Amino acid sequence: MPKKKFSLAQYKERRKFKRTPEPKGKKARKKPDEPIFVIQEHHASRIHWDLRLEIKGVLVSWAIPKGPSLNPAIRRIAIMTEDHPIEYAGFEGVIPKGMYGAGPVMVWDTGTFENKNIRNKKPVPLHQGLEDGYLEFFLHGTKLQGSFVLIKPNFEDGQKEWLLIKRKDKYASKKRKPVNTQKKSALTGRTMARIRREG
C-alpha cells in the first residue's frame, strides 16, 4: 500500500489565512516525549468530531461523524482527513462563512497519548501503524481516558475510512456518553453557543 506522506500542503491549499482565524502552521515539531491529541467538536455543514493525533510532527486527523464512544461494542466511522499543524490543537473559534469547514470549532478534549501498538512483543511506531492500518493508543485527556484502536478495514486505493473502537479496560462504559453529556470546551469551559457568539 502507498506510504503515508506527512504534509501540510493540503491543509494550506484549502485555507485562506487572511480570512480564517485558523493557524497557518509553520513548524513541524521534533519527536516529543509525549505526543498530544485533540478532539474538536466541529459544527460545519454536518456536526462531527475531529480526532487528531500527533505523528511525525503534524496532527494526523480523522473526522468522526458520531464522535467517540466508550462502549467497546460500538464501532465509530472515522474518515481520515488532511494533516493539520500542531498549533491546531489549541484552535477554538469560528471559521467564517464561505471558508473551508465554516462553522464553530470547540476543543472538546485534549491531552497526551501513549502508543500501545505492540506486535511480536515489540512496539510498532505510530507511522508504521498508519501504514498497517492499525493504531492502538491510550488517551490521557480531560474527558477521555483509556485505550482505543483505530482500524482501517479496507485497503482499496484512496480508501479513507477507518473505525474507532474503545478497548475493554476500566475506562470503558456502556452507560457514559461523554459526547452527549459533557458539552463544554476542555480549553475554555465555553459552550458551543458561546463560541459561536464570541468567535
User: What are the residues binding Mn ion (CB under 5 A)?
Assistant: 42, 50
Q: Is 11 helix (H, G, I), strand (E, B) or coil?
A: helix
Residue 52's Cα: distance from chain center in Å? 2
- Residue nearest to Mn ion according to CB distances in the complex: 42
Cell readout for 25 is 502552521
Q: Within a 10 A sphere around the Cβ of 70, how many other Cβ atoms?
A: 20
Nearer Cβ to Mn ion, position 42 or 166?
42
CA–CA dist 104, 126 (Å, integer): 30
Nearer Cβ to Mn ion, position 102 or 172?
102
Nearer Cβ to Mn ion, position 95 or 124?
95
Shortest distance (Å) from residue 103 CB to Mn ion: 8
Shortest distance (Å) from residue 14 CB to Mn ion: 11
Shortest distance (Å) from residue 34 CB to Mn ion: 24
Shortest distance (Å) from residue 52 CB to Mn ion: 10
The residue behind cell 475506562 is 171
Nearer Cβ to Mn ion, position 101 or 129?
101
Query: Which amino acid does the sequence have at 169?
Result: D
For the chain, report the end-to-end CA distance as a whole number of angstroms.
Answer: 41
CA–CA dist 62, 79 (Å, integer): 5
